[in-house]
Structure 1
Amino acid sequence: MKYLCLNGPNLHRLGKREPEIYGHETLADVTKDLQTLAAAFDAEIDVKQSNHEGQLIDWIYEAEDGDIAGIIFNPGAYTHTSVALRDCIAGVEVPVVEVHISNVHKREAFRHHSYLAPVCIGQITGLGTFGYQAALRMFLQSN
């Protein structure tokens, strides 16, 4: 099985940007951990990051048209602003799990609403970077 992990704006700065909120692990660390877990289940995962909404939308549609079994998606701030990403996810059959490193419900009020959660199969929030592994494990163990 093949899986996709998408990361939205600013997530290329993990480990440097607000480490008191997002921790000290980098996106390279997250990628390594996901690839190790996937390999243990004889699966593959591709990890991508973009600061551009349209690029993320393109990747979701490519996943739908390809052989991707599930998407782990940390949309960053687009969670709270992007109807376009919501409509994209709603329009594909590939299942998507929304992941957030911090507990968005304990933060500023504007972060409490997700446009994407209603069209995702689940949401993981506040588990740090382990949330990515939890999402992948859910996909791996359900297939």
Structure 2
Amino acid sequence: MKKILMLHGVNHNMFGKRDPIQYGTITLEEIDENMTELGKELGVEVISFQTNHEGDMCERIHQAFMENIDAVVINAGAWTHYSYGIRDALAILTVPIIEIHMSNIHAREKFRHHSVFSEIAKGQICGFGLDSYLLGLRAAIGSIEEIK
């Protein structure tokens, strides 16, 4: 069974409580449940990880390399805009990386318009709330199939 790693970034443990105008009221647990359910329907295992610590995120990405994960879906939150450490960790991987965001980062503050991951990501999905995650999972699966 193919394995997709879902990486959640800084402050995502506060989904459901934080800025409902941008992120809605869905919780991280509910997002993970939806991802797992869709993964089962599509025949893949979704492994979720969230941290508020940049080094822990890099360590989890290194672990993914050793585990032979088939693709990564990442919503790194604010790290998207400045974390070259996470970017360099992701660049070690040889699998498709799909960047996602719940909000439309291009319609928000100017500093959010730039992604340090965009050069290494297969693509970016933003602005669709929970559907950004589900579309990201579908894109990851499609990208794995392209490699075959």
Structure 2 length normalisation: TM-score? Answer: 0.92
Query: Does the Cα contact within 8 Å between 2:97 and 2:140 map onto a contact in 1?
Result: no
For the residue of structure 1 that corresponds to 2:39, the secondary structure is: helix
- 2:17 counterpart residue number: 16
Give the alignment of 1:1-40 within 5 angstroms: 1-40=2-41
Identical amino acids, percent of aligned pairs? 38
- 1:128 counterpart residue number: 129
Deviation at 1:126?
0.6
For structure 1, the 5+ residue unaligned runs are none
Q: Which runs of 4+ in 1 moved over 6 A?
A: none
For structure 2, the 5+ residue unaligned runs are none
Deviation at 1:89?
1.5
Separation in 1, partners of 2:108, 2:42: 35
1:52 aligns with 2:29: no
Deviates more, 1:132-141 or 1:18-27: 132-141
- 1:62 counterpart residue number: 63
Separation in 2, partners of 1:129, 1:78: 19
- 1:102 counterpart residue number: 103
For the residue of structure 2 that corresponds to 1:2, the secondary structure is: strand
Deviation at 1:48?
1.0
Query: Does the Cα contact within 8 Å between 2:98 and 2:139 map onto a contact in 1?
Result: no
Matched to 1:140, the amino acid is: I
Separation in 2, partners of 1:66, 1:80: 27
Structure 1 length normalisation: TM-score? Answer: 0.95
Separation in 2, partners of 1:80, 1:138: 22
